[in-house]
Structure formats: C-alpha cells, structure tokens
Chain A
C-alpha cells in the first residue's frame, strides 16, 4: 500500500472541497474515508465525482483516504487541519454587526417619521 500526501491546508470554516485524485487510484477512486488521529468518522461513496465537499467539522487534524472499494492496492491520502477562527474575533464581528444594524434601523425609523410630518422637498 502506498500513500501520497497530496496537500496540507488549514481550514477556518469547518468545510472543505477536496479534489478526488482519481489518477492515483487504480482505475477510479470510488470511496473516501475521513478520519482524525484517533477515530474514523465516515466512509462515503464518491463514484465519478471530481471533487467532494464536506462540512460541519470540528477543530482537529483530518485525513481523507481515497480508494477503490475492492482494490486497496493504491490509496491516496489528503490531510488537512480544521482550526476555526478565534471565538473572540468572531464575537467582535458579530457584536459590531449588531451595533451597525441598530445604528442603521433606529435613525432610519426616526428620520422616516420626521420626514413624514415635515417633507424636506416642500421647503
């Protein structure tokens, strides 16, 4: 069994699109198994797909093994790391978004009320 480290990348959103390395399997890669250092997460069928997208992953180092089901002679591994954005940074942007939204809606409501009573254009 030979292994190829195709790519190593850091994912910050918990989702990733992996290119299926059909040329490195015998004929076509039919399946992909996803595992972390200590446990196998799932095995999925990829058939003739050129790429496959997985999502909702937690922090950790992952390995995706591509292989042909009945022929484990050749196996190709893609490794990647999921490291989500820092919570402090995410919450800062979330709160900033909330403040911006309130800063927009409250004055808009007040200005609309004001202009309804007293139209600028008639001045």
Chain B
C-alpha cells in the first residue's frame, strides 16, 4: 500500500495555502454583492469564457478524478467510456439552457419553474428528489475529501473531510455565485493541466502495450465488450448524467446567470472539452495490476496508481487537482442548493412576503446548515463513492421527462409529472438494491417515460404558457 506519500507539514501547507487563496478571493469578489440576484446569480451577465469554464469545472468533480478510475477498475473500458458519455448531459442541456433563459428571464431556481409549470404536487416531489440528490452529491464530495487526504497523507479521513467542507462553506458564503464562477475558471485550468501531466508521465513509465497484455491475462473482463454488468452500466451512466444536469439547480442557476445568447454555445463547448477528461483520468486504473496495486476500496485506485507512478511529486499534484475539483463542485452545489432552500422552501412556504434582504440572509444561513449536514453525514464512511452517486441516479433520472415535456410541451399535467417522478424513483431504488447500482437510473427513467406518455396521450391538459410570464 502506498501510504503517507505527502508529509504532514506539506499537506498542511497546501491545504492552508489553497484555502486562504479561495477564501480571500471569494471575499474580494463577493464584497459588492448586495442583492440576491448579485449573490445567487452573479448579476445574470456572465460571459462566454467564464460560462464555459464554470460548466466544465462543475462537471469535473472529484467524481471525475476519483470515480472515473474507480469505474474503469470495476467495469473496464465500458466504465471509462460510459463515464465520458456523461458529457452528453451537458450537450443536451445546451438547448434547454436557451429555453430556460427565454421563458424564465427573472427565474431563480429550477423549483420556480416546476412550481409555475406543474403546481404544488409535482413541485413537492421534485424538491424532495432535488434535495436528496444535492445532499447525496455533497456527502460524496465530503467523503472524497477525506479519502483523498487519508490515502495520500498522514491526515485522517475525518480531519481531511472537515477541512475541505469548512473551506468551501467559507468562500461560498463570502462570495456567492460570482466567487464560485471565478474560482471555477482557475480550478479548471489547474485540474486539466494536472491530469494531462499525470497521464503523460504515466505513459512515459508504463506502456499501453504492457498494460493491455497484463489486463488481458489477469483481469480479462475489463477488456470484454460483452461484460454484462458493464453493458448495463453504460447507458445507465448516460441517463444518470442527463438526469443530474436536467433537474439540478446547479445547472439551472448557471443557465439563468449566463448572459443572453451565451448559455447554449457555452454548454456545447464545455461538453466537447469535458468528454475526454474521464478517459485521461480513468485509464491509469488499468495499469494497477501491472504495478501490483490492489486498493482497499475501489475509489482509492486513482490516487494510489498516480502516487506509485510519480512518487511524492505526483501525490502532491494529485492532491492539488482533487482538492481543486472538490472545491469547484462543492461550492457550486452549496450555492445552488441554498438558493433552492431559501427561494423555494423559505419564500414559497414559510415567508411569502420576505424581502430580498431576508432571503439573502436565509440563503447564507442555509449554506452553513448544508455544510454542517454534509459534515455529519460524511462522518461514517457508509459506502464507496461510485455506489453512493449511483444511488442518487434512481432519483434524478425520473425528472428527465417531466422537465423536457414541461419546458417544451403543454400537455403533461401536475399529477402526471408528480407521479412519473415518484414512481420512477421508487422503481429505480428497487433496481438499485435488487439488481445493482448500475441499473437504478435506467429503470427510473423508463418508468417515468411510460407514465409521462400515459398522461400526455390519455390525460392531456392544455397548459397556457402565459401563466409562466412573470
């Protein structure tokens, strides 16, 4: 086992250095944000470069840097390619981003749209799904921080997880979405340069010919195109990625924050640039067998192989990359989920006449509470990152059809949308536990599709789009 590749002092120096950098920058960018639009949607005027970078950075999460190697280690070539296909989520969201900006020019959250287009029942189901997903993702990020630090340094899982959550809460709290987007740009550059350097160094030390020969001999299923579980995983991951992006306020808030006309092209470019990253981060997992590395938990394989190939310097680089990736996703998620809680729950349910200032205060309070909740839930390391993420797949895949038919059509009713999401999630969870984590999203999406079709064809309504005008 490769342990303590980075000394305690160096780990602490990197942690403090980057933490101070992100937090100060967050404070600097957020100091002028006075309204909720400034804080939650960065003034609704983000340009093409920052829009593309933030879309990429949010999607290059710790999941891409830790779970892509995990899935390659578990499902082989299908796992690596299947993870890459999550780029299709960004690509398909491009037209939706344009549509969202057109029909909801003053909207704040995805919950806003569901409430106005469908009504209370579908909105309640949607909120539960959205919160379960956001919390699952947040916990997976907290866990990833702990796993990262405990794999590469003497710092324990609990300390690592605590530090990473605290830093992200602080700078999101100080800067809002503007800080999130600006840090995303720098984090994207760090992450991509880092993973490319690691991949080039790895290829310089171990040839793909050697890796292929070794895997063929000792882990043959990883190269098998007819590997049953991996076949199921492939489209499941595609659907999961689409569900994540279509429903999540992380992406809706970006669509609303981008300048008019920027959303569609920035999501298309981000998808094209994101597509190869899981292959670059994932393929090194195939060399683990040649190197004699067998991880305690499959989600540790990426850092372990990089550490073994590149030694202490590689471990430092991996640490900086994953720390940046973690921060770029956790801050986005904290910002978007707190918007959802303050705008949808506080404003719609508790204080209908709340002033902008009150909502802003509640928004900040929610960021702190979310951070605390994530910390508590990350304390027991319940499962692997891949399995935890795919658990949320059962929830999010059920929202794809209601959102599509809601945004573009006028026939799906409140009851149809609510039932499609509810029953889709239930069936997805049954598949998660009965068949495997790699089937949950697929089953959920299929059931949701059938229910939506039933309501559109046999119980259609005629929604008046004027009702959405604010």
Contact = CB atoms under 8 A, between A and B. Distances in A.
A56 B400 contact: no
Nearest to B219: A56
Nearest to B300: A53
A106 to B, nearest CB: 11
Interface in B254-286: none
Interface stretch (A21-29, A71-79, A85-93): A85-93
B121 interface: no
B346 interface: no
B404 A58 contact: no
Interface in B382-437: 400, 404, 408-410, 435-436
Interface in A34-79: 41-42, 44-58
Given A55-B74, A93-B235, A121 B468 contact: yes
A104 B92 contact: yes
Interface string B215-244: 100111110001111011011101100100
Given A51-B296, A90-B228, A56 B76 contact: yes
B155 to A, nearest CB: 17
A87 B435 CA distance: 14
A91 B92 contact: no
Nearest to B226: A87
Nearest to B410: A120
Contacts of B95: 108-109, 112
A66 to B, nearest CB: 13
A94 interface: yes
A6 interface: no
B296 A100 contact: no
A2 interface: no
Contacts of B404: 104, 107-108, 111
Nearest to A107: B404
A121 B296 contact: no
Contacts of B235: 93-94, 96-98, 100-101
A14 B88 CA distance: 28
Interface string B29-70: 000000000000000000000000000000000000000000
Nearest to A95: B235
Contact of A85 (B103, B228, B292, B468): B228
Contact of A121 (B75, B215, B289, B469): B469
A104 B228 contact: no
A61 to B, nearest CB: 16
Contact of A12 (B99, B229, B239): B229
Nearest to B448: A100
Q: How large is the interface on B (under 10, 10 to 19, 20 to 34, 35 or more residues)?
A: 35 or more
Chain A interface SS verdict (over half): mixed
A44 B79 CA distance: 24
Interface string A7-26: 00000111101000000000
Contacts of B98: 112
A7 B292 CA distance: 25
Interface in B79-125: 88, 92, 95, 98-99, 102-103
Most buried by B among A51, A90, A96: A90
B298 A15 contact: yes
A85 B229 CA distance: 7
B294 interface: yes
A33 to B, nearest CB: 12
A93 B439 contact: yes
A50 to B, nearest CB: 6
Contacts of B76: 56
Nearest to A114: B408
A50 B296 contact: yes
Contact of A54 (B294, B435, B465, B469): B294
Nearest to A112: B95
A52 B301 CA distance: 11
B442 A15 contact: no
A88 B205 CA distance: 40
B449 interface: yes
B445 interface: yes
B295 A53 contact: yes
A14 B229 contact: yes
B126 interface: no
Given A52-B296, A104-B92, A84 B229 contact: yes
Contact of B231 (A17, A57, A94): A94
B185 interface: no
B469 to A, nearest CB: 7
Nearest to B469: A121
Nearest to B298: A53
B302 to A, nearest CB: 13
A53 B294 contact: yes
B323 interface: no
Given A85-B435, A101-B239, 20 more contacts: A13-B75, A44-B294, A50-B296, A52-B294, A53-B301, A55-B74, A55-B222, A85-B229, A85-B436, A90-B231, A90-B232, A91-B231, A94-B235, A97-B236, A101-B238, A104-B400, A115-B408, A120-B103, A121-B466, A123-B466
Which 8 A/B pairs are nearest by Cβ-Cβ distance? Answer: A97-B235, A56-B219, A90-B228, A112-B95, A111-B408, A85-B228, A13-B229, A56-B222
